[in-house]
Amino acid sequence: MAATVAEDAVEARGDRVVAYLIDFAILSAVAFGLWLVTFVLNTVLSVGAMAATSPGDPGAMGGGSMLAAGLLGIVINFVLWLAIGAMLVYYFGYYAETNETVGKRSQNVAVVDENGTPPSQRDRLLRTAVLLAPFPIMLLLGGILGGFGFIFALVLMAGWLLVEAAVMFVSDDAQRLGDRVAGTYVVSATK
């Protein structure tokens, strides 16, 4: 007797986790690289602003320079988060076109609908939207708080991903929240 899509999803749970970890590592490495560039830019701005002096008192820091550096730092941080958002759009846009990510391809798992066929573009976008639900908060905090915001944003996303993983592991059909919303499953691509 043929296994159901839900049973196939349960069997593929381990491969799915490995695929996710591969995708997370790729996205985290790129995000960290982008953050490192903004950290260097913000450090250079801060040091430059502190080096600016007032003509009347050579030992005093220029208040206008510090304010300008701070505001420019906030702009740079927002650009960082927009770049991270663009990277996510590209990555998941690739997923939307091919129905697989690098991690899924490496582990030979695929996303399917309840009939075992590739999900619609709408379903793929729904499951991805749930996965990235915390991103607007991450954008806001990361843009305003800079390096501390980046750390807080990573903790927020890690917490959300743990919730998604917990739901996947306790559900009888191995669906995370995004799969439940979209009606999708992750199964072995060889079946």
pLDDT at 128 (0 to 100): 83
pLDDT at 98 (0 to 100): 72
In angstroms, what CA-CA distances link 149 with 17, 47, 66, 140, 144?
27, 20, 20, 9, 7
pLDDT at 13 (0 to 100): 94
DSSP 30: H
Q: Mind listing the pLDDT tens digit of every residue in the chain (191 residues)?
A: 357 999 999 999 999 999 988 988 888 888 888 888 888 887 887 777 666 655 555 555 555 666 777 777 778 877 877 787 777 777 766 666 677 788 888 999 999 999 999 888 889 888 888 988 888 887 777 767 766 777 787 788 889 989 999 999 999 999 999 999 999 999 998 86
pLDDT at 1 (0 to 100): 38
Ordered by start, the domain boundaries in the chain are: 5-45+68-188
* Residue entry with tokens 């995004």: 178
pLDDT at 182 (0 to 100): 94
Report the C-alpha gap between 122 and 117 in whole angstroms: 14
Beta carbons within 8 Å of 80's beta carbon, 6+ residues apart: 34, 35, 37, 38, 142, 143, 150
- Please report which helix (H) or strand (E) contains residue 111, including its range: strand 109-113
Radius of gyration in angstroms for the set of CA atoms belonging to the chain, rounded to a whole number = 22
Q: What are phi and psi of 117, to 5 degrees?
A: -105, 160
Paired strand residues for 111: 186
Q: What are phi and psi of 100, to 5 degrees?
A: -155, 150
